[in-house]
């Protein structure tokens, strides 16, 4: 069986491990800094196996990275979550130090793994991991667009009163307030939502999608979203582990695509065995390109402000 290491046993990490185990995608190692927590949650999931009928192995480790050796995929969720009133930018300095330490251990113990970054600020953390591990850029991918698109699709379904099973959404750009929902590439059974609702409604839904994470943070009071983020990163991991070659919006290191270079940004990606296989360059309208430019500039500016690149 394949092997996945989850670094971070909080809500996102533990829920993702549960999903991986129940799908029998891989055996899982869960690593965290909290004594006993990863081992306790892992044992709880093992004891769930007889009920849910899965045989995936789940083990937990505290600050010992050696069990991750041989991992095919490493998912990083460790770090501080946003609190009410805190922007993703505020998280950078604290989480960058955490990711640097984790990346060194990934490089040492799982040098052939594909890394999926979940920690915020997502695009910057993916870049930090890419640089610290020295991995090829196709093996360090950020989970952003899958989640953002899921939120957009959910709101489209609510507005139209239609099943989300028939909705495919596309959200590009940085994972934050400048993300770029793409209505023209968001469809219901192949029909663009631009044919199904007016621009004002689409704009309202797009704005809610941009603020989707903050909306949940505000409602929860403490903590942030974890059900949809965990499902999103597991979808990416599944594509890699099973070699499915799925087209997802994801944060990828760009080398001239869309006119950008040297940083991570959400773009349409083909993801399968070995990680990122291809970036799809869409033919964008002037308005769509302007929105993507705005988001790309926000990410590159933030990188410069914190001394990256």
- 181 membership: H or E segment, kind and range: strand 180-181
Please list the active-site residues: 175
Residue-level length of the chain: 309
Task: Return the CATH number of the domain spanning residue range 3-142.
Answer: 3.40.50.720
Is residue 243 within 8 A of residue 273, CB to CB? The reply is yes
CA 121 to chain centre: 11
pLDDT at position 87, please?
66
pTM of the model: 0.96
Q: What is the pLDDT of residue 83?
A: 65
Give, rounded to a whole angstrom, the gap between the first and last alpha carbons of the chain.
Answer: 38
Domain ranges of the chain: 3-142, 145-305
Q: Can you give the pLDDT at residue 293?
A: 98
Query: For the sheet containing 191-192, what is the strand order?
Result: 167-168, 187-188, 191-192
Quick one: pLDDT at residue 176?
86
Mean pLDDT, each 10-residue run in order, the chain (309 residues) = 97 98 98 98 98 98 97 96 66 89 98 97 96 98 97 98 98 94 98 98 97 94 93 98 98 98 97 98 98 97 87
CB within 8 A of 216, min separation 6: which ones? 224, 225
Distance in angstroms (rounded) separating the CA atoms of residues 9 and 34:
9
CATH 3.40.50.980 fits 145-305, yes or no: no
Q: Which CA distances in Å does 299 have to 37, 163, 210, 213?
A: 34, 34, 15, 18
């Amino acid at each position: 069986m394949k092997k996945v290491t989850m670094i971070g046993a909080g809500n996102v990490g533990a829920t993702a491990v549960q999903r991986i185990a129940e799908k029998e995608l891989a055996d899982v190692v869960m690593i965290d800094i909290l004594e006993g927590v990863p081992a306790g949650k892992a044992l709880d999931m093992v004891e769930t196996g007889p009920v849910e009928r899965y045989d995936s192995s789940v083990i937990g480790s505290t600050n010992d990275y050696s069990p991750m050796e041989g991992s095919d995929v490493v998912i990083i969720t460790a770090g501080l979550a946003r609190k009410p009133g805190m922007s993703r930018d505020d998280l950078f300095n604290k989480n960058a130090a955490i990711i640097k330490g984790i990346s060194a251990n990934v490089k040492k113990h799982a040098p052939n793994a594909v890394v999926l970054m979940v920690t915020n600020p997502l695009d910057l953390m993916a870049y930090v991991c890419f640089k610290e591990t020295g991995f090829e850029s196709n093996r360090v991918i950020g989970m952003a667009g899958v989640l953002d698109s899921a939120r957009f699709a959910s709101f489209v379904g609510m507005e139209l009163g239609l099943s989300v099973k028939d909705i495919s959404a596309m959200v590009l750009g940085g994972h934050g307030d400048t993300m770029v929902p793409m209505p023209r590439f968001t469809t219901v059974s192949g029909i663009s939502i631009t044919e199904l609702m007016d621009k004002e409604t689409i704009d309202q839904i797009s704005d809610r999608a941009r603020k989707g994470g903050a909306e949940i943070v505000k409602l929860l009071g403490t903590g942030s979203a974890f059900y949809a983020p965990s499902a999103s990163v597991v979808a990416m991991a599944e594509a890699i582990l099973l070699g499915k070659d799925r087209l997802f919006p994801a944060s990828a290191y760009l080398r001239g695509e869309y006119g950008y270079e040297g940083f991570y940004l959400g773009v349409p990606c083909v993801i399968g065995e070995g990680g990122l296989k291809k970036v799809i360059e869409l033919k964008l309208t002037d308005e769509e390109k302007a929105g993507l430019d705005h988001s790309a500039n926000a990410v590159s500016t933030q990188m410069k402000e914190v001394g990256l690149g």
